[in-house]
Amino acid sequence: MGKVIVFGSLNMDLTIECDAMPQAGQTVEGRNFLTNPGGKGGNQAVAAAKLGAPTWMIARVGRDLFGDQLCLALESAGVNCTHVDHSDCNSTGVAVITRCAGDNRIILNAGANHEMRAKDVVDILDRLAEPGDLFVTQYECEGRAVIGALAAAKSRGLFTLFNPAPAKPIPAEAYSSIDLIVVNQTECEFLTGLYPSDTDSCQNALARFQALGVGGAIITLGEMGSVCRMGEEIIQVGSYSVPNVDTTGAGDSYIGALACALVQGEAMEQCMRFATKVASLTITRPGAQQSIPYLNEVEAYFKEES
């Protein structure tokens, strides 16, 4: 089995639940405050590691308590943190999350996440990566570093999985470095101009991604499941009905689970079904990394469900 190598953000999530989102100038009562390790990169790495993939993290945190806590959380989940650096200039990234009726709104301070440059990642890949490894990245780190890292990973024989979140433009020349792009409906609309809400709009959006030059594309559709195009093959996978407690870690757990299954050589449809189970179980729990299940929990939950 190859390795999953994640280049991405590490944030400390400060989350609180309320009955209604506050309006301008309004104070509302909250409850269930959590301080929870997060960041899209960290979440995806934790998911891959908890589910059984050898997983390495490339990231930067501050020399502060949050940075120490984030590294400890990654290591306790089984993520190798040899290549998590510490900044002398910026604090650790922080996300302030308000949870309401199973949905969430997020304010992000990138902090040390934006310090890493493409050269930093390339230097690490030259020491760490081998052909057959799987490289995962997102858009919470500095944009040029992300795009440069994708190109470097692709040229070194790694399978590249890109989750362009939060949504930002992707340079036209970068699409050929992406073996698999994974987006939600909002990100899909931002990048293609098409909002995927039914079979036709999904297929048109997937075709547009393919025309841009990616190897394959997956669109996650919430309660409608997910849909994929690899070459001429279209794969549709439904969702699972579960109690919706907190969606914060759902997308990241899907991608981490997908990476884990892909690096183990599973077929795409099986990878998507596994990722859907993991994301479904994740939303039954509050928080980000702490909500992501281990493999035995996924197997036990869906054995009981069936």
146 and 110 in contact (C-beta within 8 Å)? Answer: no
The terminus-to-terminus CA distance of the chain in angstroms comes to: 29
**DSSP per-residue letters across 66-108:** HHHHHHHHHHHHTEEEEEEEEESSSPPEEEEEEEETTEEEEEE
**Separation of alpha carbons 226 and 235, rounded Å:** 8
What are the strands, taking DSSP E only, across 88-189? 93-100, 103-109, 134-138, 159-163, 180-184
256 and 281 in contact (C-beta within 8 Å)? Answer: no
212: amino acid identity, one letter: L
Structure tokens at 68: 């120490």
59: amino acid identity, one letter: A
69 and 42 in contact (C-beta within 8 Å)? Answer: no
**Separation of alpha carbons 191 and 68, rounded Å:** 36
- The neighbour count for residue 123, using CB atoms within 10 Å, is 13
Q: Is 126 a catalytic residue?
A: no
Which residues are designated catalytic? 252
